Amino acid sequence: MIPLYALHREEEEFPEPEEWKPERFLEENKTHDPYTYLPFGVGPRMCIGQRFAQEMIRYGFVHILRELEIVRTADTPEKVEYLKGFLFVIQPTNLVVGFRPLH
């Protein structure tokens, strides 16, 4: 058994592991072994709830969007800058939006 909690807080692989730094997973910042971050495990003993958890995240996001409208705010930039993200997704930088109830 691999203690994933300890593995994901290895200072050598993840400097300041308790800090929220999603940019550490961008392609240009990946300097560590890809097998050091295993939130659902790997191989035949990987978490059987992985697909369920990912579907619940999607469901939650869709449920929020059914109730709220995404709107511009005074802090929303005129031109949105993008970062090349991981998993073939581009990600906006410094994007500020607001939410307004649909009903």
Binding site members for heme = 47
Residue 82's region, left for phi above 0, alpha for psi from -120 to 50, else beta, is: beta
Binding site, annotated residues: 47
Beta bridge pairs of residue 92: 82
Quick check: 84 and 90 in contact, CB under 8 A? yes
Closest CA to 41 of 13, 2, 12: 2
